């Protein structure tokens, strides 16, 4: 994205943010719910993007962390705790569990790691379902309250959408800072060549665990918002299919691109809704669209943009080279 | 004067026809994909069949019925979004969802909008939260399970009972009520076995039942799993009498289990196998239109639409605000409204009161042993 001028980028960013704040004011309740869902899923997908896109660790457990966060928030807020406190607990809990889940990643890689995390995902589902003293089992937890933020009630769809959007903004800034920090660079080094990373003095062990833990913590935040958004949770939404969905968001958006999860979540949440007019076919069309996209561009939507920009850069560079070469020749 | 009269008459005619032409809009949100796809698809097809019939006969109060279908993907979060969308379009009545969890998350929305919701969920607690807009299409487990427990205790004279259930909201809900009732009556639960939906092998579960040696076994699984466990019970030679609720003695189970189904007994609130002429006719119409035999969810969807028709005709107008009030305490007789299939009364909580049957499988056929009358 180098070819965009910096002021242009900032202007574009401001327009999008202003749009996200102003346009939904006229939305009906359904539109606001879907947009809130988009914000929540983007947060979860950003976490997976850190683990998978930046640090290169395949995880099929992100849905389980959303579940852990959702249950933490649901159990605590229905017992009278404020939501921010519940989200802090969700973060700490997902971080700790994510850290522990990172240990297998020190020993196995790629699809073996995927299987380990898949097993964890199933385990989490069984815990949500069978430990009914805590989670309400298959009946789930209902009447999850929405929070009061600075004295404002957020029961109505619009204020709660702003809660989701605000959380997304905070998480986005944090992640933006993280991937530009030495940690982010260490994550990328881990993905590109762990051996070289280690020889450069990066503690690969610690950073692998960190990548898992931070990614999982973001899943926990998303869960902590998901519970008050739907106001009812049961184990079913947090089964393996959510993990697969989140994985798809990251890959379709473009793994390893900062804006990948935003676009990926948009496609995963909004595209099926737009396709609903086709009734019985909407999920099929959605599946076909995703397949076609990945055939066309295995690196996701931002991969297309990246490819286009890279091409332009190469062209520009070779043009420069040609000029330089001809100058060189004239000099000779 | 004459021309004003004529104009007035024309105007009246015009408004009358425009009202006449305007369809009554219903919204359905159901499990059309995901784990509950069979439930939701049956429910949807039942709705479509009923609407087609009603419209062919001129509609309700001269107005046609129209329904929009939305898929909840069997996910409460999606169900909430779809119900929100349906309510934003201000339907006359909301139909669905079928899963109790999805009903729980959507019922407050419909109540807030003041729109009646006719749903398929069977969990006991749904109608116990004081929601004034929620209606069942079948017995809640709090009505059916006490009858089952009473039969096991009084008729089967079982002192010890093994309970096998499927671990989803349907199975768990039924299990909780039946265990509580058995306990109250003084029958002891000696084995309490949770199984998975779609489970293929019941050897271990049946082994545990055998070891517990109960006087009776209560089986509460989905249809296909019911057939599998019946075969396994026969194979391992379990001789204790078997009792079920709706699913165990369904036609599909009898076909799949063959001989192994003989002797199984069960309580049947609403099945397509019920020995009622109108239900048999329904089943025939349904199978002819969709090329498969419906389960009780097909019946529930069908009934939901006829509940709308009967209630609206009772009011004499299409009034979404008064709909719920009118349906509370309403008795609909099959003689007046054949679409309702069996006489039914709705309580103030939206629960249903209807005749039910105790059935035994004899040589591959359902035989009604006892007709349990309406409570009131």
The stretch B324-352 carries a mean pLDDT of 93
Query: Is there a contact between B101 and A231 if contact means CB atoms under 8 Å apart?
Result: no
Query: Is there a contact between B77 and A226 if contact means CB atoms under 8 Å apart?
Result: yes
Task: Identify whether residues B262 and B335 lie together within a single domain.
Answer: no
pLDDT value at residue A148? 87
pLDDT value at residue B14? 47
Given B209, B234, B268, the domain boundary residue is: B268
- The percent of chain B in helix, strand and coil, each rounded to the nearest 5, is 50, 20, 30
Chain A residue with the nearest C-alpha to that of B84: A30
pLDDT value at residue A90? 96
Overall domain count for chain B: 2
pLDDT value at residue A230? 92
**pLDDT of B167 strictly over 60:** yes
Q: Is B372 within a domain?
A: no
Closest C-alpha among A114, A73, A118 to residue A93:
A73
pLDDT value at residue A82? 93
Task: Identify whether residues B300 and B239 lie together within a single domain.
Answer: no
Partners of residue B108 in chain A, C-beta under 8 Å: 231
B5 Cα to chain A: minimum distance (Å): 44
Query: Is there a contact between A237 and B76 if contact means CB atoms under 8 Å apart?
Result: yes
pLDDT value at residue A1? 44
Task: Identify whether residues B325 and B177 lie together within a single domain.
Answer: no
H/E segment holding residue B286: helix B277-290
Query: Is there a contact between A28 and B80 if contact means CB atoms under 8 Å apart?
Result: no
Task: Identify whether residues B9 and B87 lie together within a single domain.
Answer: yes
Task: Identify whether residues B131 and B10 lie together within a single domain.
Answer: yes
Q: Is B368 within a domain?
A: no
H/E segment holding residue B192: strand B188-195
pLDDT value at residue B7? 53
Chains A and B form CB pairs within 8 A to the count of 69
Chain B residue with the nearest C-alpha to that of A276: B70
What kind of fold does domain A27-282 have according to CATH? ABC transporter involved in vitamin B12 uptake, BtuC (1.10.3470)
Query: Is there a contact between B32 and A280 if contact means CB atoms under 8 Å apart?
Result: yes
B75 → closest Cβ in A237, A280, A282: A237
Question: HSE on the CB side for A293, CA within 13 Å?
Answer: 23
Partners of residue B84 in chain A, C-beta under 8 Å: 29-30, 33
Whether the CA torsion B60, B62, B63, B65 is positive or negative: it is positive
The stretch A126-143 carries a mean pLDDT of 89
CB A62 within 8 A of CB A46: no
What are the beta bridge partners of residue A131?
A: none
The stretch A25-38 carries a mean pLDDT of 92
pLDDT value at residue B6? 52
A17 Cα to chain B: minimum distance (Å): 24
Task: Identify whether residues B343 and B225 lie together within a single domain.
Answer: no
Structural domain boundaries in chain A: 27-282, 297-332
CATH code, domain carrying B81: 3.40.50.2300
Backbone φ and ψ for B317, nearest 5 degrees, come out as: -155, 165
Task: Identify whether residues B167 and B187 lie together within a single domain.
Answer: yes
pLDDT value at residue B21? 58
Q: Is B371 within a domain?
A: no
The parent domain of residue B229 ranges over 142-268
DSSP B317: S
pLDDT in tens, A271-313: 888 888 887 788 888 889 888 988 888 888 888 888 888 888 8
Q: Average pLDDT over chain A, rounded to whole?
A: 90
pLDDT value at residue B30? 95
Q: Beta-strand (E) ranges in B1-114? A: 24-30, 65-71, 93-95
Mutation pick from A44, A135, A139, A282 vs chain B, by most beta carbons of B within 10 Å, is A139
pLDDT value at residue A332? 64
Q: Is B226 within a domain?
A: yes
Specify the range with the lowest mean pLDDT, choosing from A71-75, A147-151, B93-97. Answer: A147-151
Task: Identify whether residues B184 and B292 lie together within a single domain.
Answer: no
**pLDDT of B274 strictly over 80:** no
pLDDT in tens, A201-238: 888 889 989 999 999 999 999 999 999 999 999 998 99
**pLDDT of A179 strictly over 70:** yes
Query: Is there a contact between B88 and A231 if contact means CB atoms under 8 Å apart?
Result: no
Of residues A63 and B142, the one with the higher pLDDT is: A63
Q: What angle do CA A79, A82, A86 make, to 5 degrees?
A: 80
Confidence category of residue B259, pLDDT binned at 50, 70, 90: very high
Contacts of B17 by beta carbon, 8 Å cutoff, 6+ apart? none
Report the 10 Å Cβ neighbour count for A201.
Answer: 6
pLDDT in tens, B17-69: 444 458 999 999 999 988 788 889 999 999 999 999 999 999 999 999 999 99
Task: Identify whether residues B134 and B146 lie together within a single domain.
Answer: no
Query: Is there a contact between B169 and A234 if contact means CB atoms under 8 Å apart?
Result: yes
Mutation pick from B27, B39, B40, B76 vs chain A, by most beta carbons of A within 10 Å, is B76
Task: Identify whether residues B121 and B153 lie together within a single domain.
Answer: no
Task: Identify whether residues B194 and B206 lie together within a single domain.
Answer: yes
Query: Is there a contact between B88 and A237 if contact means CB atoms under 8 Å apart?
Result: no
The stretch A167-182 carries a mean pLDDT of 94
**pLDDT of B5 strictly over 60:** no
Q: Is B74 within a domain?
A: yes
**pLDDT of B213 strictly over 60:** yes
Q: Is B366 within a domain?
A: no
**pLDDT of B122 strictly over 80:** yes
B262 Cα to chain A: minimum distance (Å): 32
Confidence category of residue A2, pLDDT binned at 50, 70, 90: very low
Query: Is there a contact between A30 and B101 if contact means CB atoms under 8 Å apart?
Result: no
Partners of residue B167 in chain A, C-beta under 8 Å: 129-130, 138
The DSSP string of A113-157 is HHHHHHHHHHHHHHHHHH-HHHH-GGG-B--PPPPEETTEE--SH
Sole residue written with tokens 């076919």: A281
Confidence category of residue B4, pLDDT binned at 50, 70, 90: low
pLDDT value at residue B29? 96
Residues B97 and A311: their CA atoms lie apart, in Å, by 51
Instruction: Specify the pTM.
Output: 0.84
The ipTM of this complex is: 0.81
Task: Identify whether residues B101 and B55 lie together within a single domain.
Answer: yes
pLDDT value at residue B3? 56
Query: Is there a contact between A33 and B105 if contact means CB atoms under 8 Å apart?
Result: no
Interhelix angle A62-78/A29-48, nearest 10 degrees? 120
- Say if B252 is an interface residue toward chain A (CB within 8 Å): no
DSSP B151: H
Partners of residue B33 in chain A, C-beta under 8 Å: 283
Q: Average pLDDT over chain B, rounded to whole?
A: 89
**pLDDT of B359 strictly over 80:** yes
3-class state of residue B115 by DSSP? coil
């Amino acid at each position: 994205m180098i070819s965009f001028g910096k002021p242009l980028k900032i202007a574009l960013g401001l327009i999008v943010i202003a749009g996200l704040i102003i346009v939904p004011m006229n939305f009906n309740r359904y539109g606001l719910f879907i947009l809130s869902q988009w914000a929540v899923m983007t947060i979860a997908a950003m976490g997976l993007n850190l683990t998978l896109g930046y640090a290169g660790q395949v995880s099929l457990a992100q849905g389980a962390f959303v579940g852990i966060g959702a249950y933490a928030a649901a159990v605590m807020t229905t017992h009278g705790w404020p939501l921010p406190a519940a989200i802090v607990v969700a973060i700490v809990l997902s971080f700790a569990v994510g850290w522990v889940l990172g240990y297998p990643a020190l020993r196995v890689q790629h699809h073996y790691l995927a299987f380990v995390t898949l097993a964890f995902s199933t385990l989490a589902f069984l815990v949500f379902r069978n430990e009914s003293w805590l989670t309400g089992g298959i009946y789930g937890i209902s009447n999850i309250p929405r929070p009061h933020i600075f004295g404002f009630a957020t029961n109505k769809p619009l204020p709660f959408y702003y809660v989701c959007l605000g959380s997304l903004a905070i998480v986005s800034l944090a992640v933006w800072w993280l991937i530009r920090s030495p940690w982010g660079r260490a994550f990328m080094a881990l993905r590109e060549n762990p051996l070289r990373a280690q020889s450069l003095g990066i503690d690969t062990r610690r950073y692998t665990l960190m990548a898992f833990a931070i990614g999982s913590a973001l899943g926990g935040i998303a869960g902590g918002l998901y519970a008050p958004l739907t106001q009812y949770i049961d184990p079913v939404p947090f089964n393996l299919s959510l993990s697969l969905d989140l994985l798809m968001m990251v890959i379709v958006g473009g793994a390893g691109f900062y804006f990948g999860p935003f676009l990926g979540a948009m496609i995963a949440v909004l595209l099926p809704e737009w396709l609903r007019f086709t009734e019985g076919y909407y999920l099929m069309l959605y599946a076909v669209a995703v397949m076609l996209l990945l055939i066309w561009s295995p690196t996701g939507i931002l991969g297309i943009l990246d490819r286009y920009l890279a091409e332009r850069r190469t062209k520009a560079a070779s043009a420069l080279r040609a000029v330089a070469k001809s100058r060189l020749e004239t000099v000779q | 004067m004459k021309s004003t009269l004529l104009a007035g008459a024309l105007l009246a005619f015009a408004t009358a026809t425009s009202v006449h032409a305007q369809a009554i809009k219903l919204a359905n949100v159901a499990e059309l994909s995901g784990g509950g796809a069979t439930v939701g698809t049956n429910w949807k097809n039942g709705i479509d069949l009923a609407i087609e019939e009603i419209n062919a006969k001129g509609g309700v109060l001269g107005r046609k019925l129209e329904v929009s279908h939305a898929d909840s993907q069997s996910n409460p979060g999606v169900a909430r979004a779809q119900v929100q969308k349906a309510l934003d379009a201000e339907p006359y009545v909301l139909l669905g969802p079928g899963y109790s969890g999805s009903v729980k998350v959507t019922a407050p929305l419909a109540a807030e909008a003041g729109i009646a919701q006719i749903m398929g969920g069977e969990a006991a607690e749904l109608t116990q939260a004081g929601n004034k807009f929620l209606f069942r299409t079948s017995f809640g487990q709090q009505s059916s399970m006490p009858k089952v427990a009473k039969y096991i205790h009084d008729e089967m004279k079982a002192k010890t009972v093994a309970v096998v259930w499927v671990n989803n909201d349907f199975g768990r809900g039924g299990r909780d009520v039946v265990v509580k009732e058995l306990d109250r009556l003084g029958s002891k639960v000696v084995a309490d076995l949770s199984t998975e939906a779609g489970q293929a092998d019941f050897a271990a579960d049946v082994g545990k039942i055998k070891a517990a040696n109960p006087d009776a076994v209560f089986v509460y699984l989905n249809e296909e799993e019911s057939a599998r466990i019946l075969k396994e019970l026969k194979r391992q030679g379990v001789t204790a009498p078997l009792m079920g609720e709706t699913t165990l003695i369904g036609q599909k189970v009898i076909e799949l289990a063959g001989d192994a189904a003989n002797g199984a007994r069960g309580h049947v609130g609403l099945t397509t196998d019920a020995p009622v002429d109108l239900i048999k006719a329904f089943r025939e119409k349904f199978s002819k239109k969709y090329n498969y035999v419906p389960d009780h969810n097909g019946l529930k969807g069908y009934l939901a639409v006829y509940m709308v028709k009967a209630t609206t005709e009772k009011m004499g107008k299409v009034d979404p605000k008064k709909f719920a009030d009118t349906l509370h305490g309403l008795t609909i007789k099959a003689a007046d409204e054949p679409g309702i299939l069996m006489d039914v009364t709705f309580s103030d909580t939206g629960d249903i009161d209807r005749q039910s049957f105790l059935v035994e499988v004899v040589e591959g056929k359902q035989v009604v042993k006892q007709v349990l009358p309406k409570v009131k």
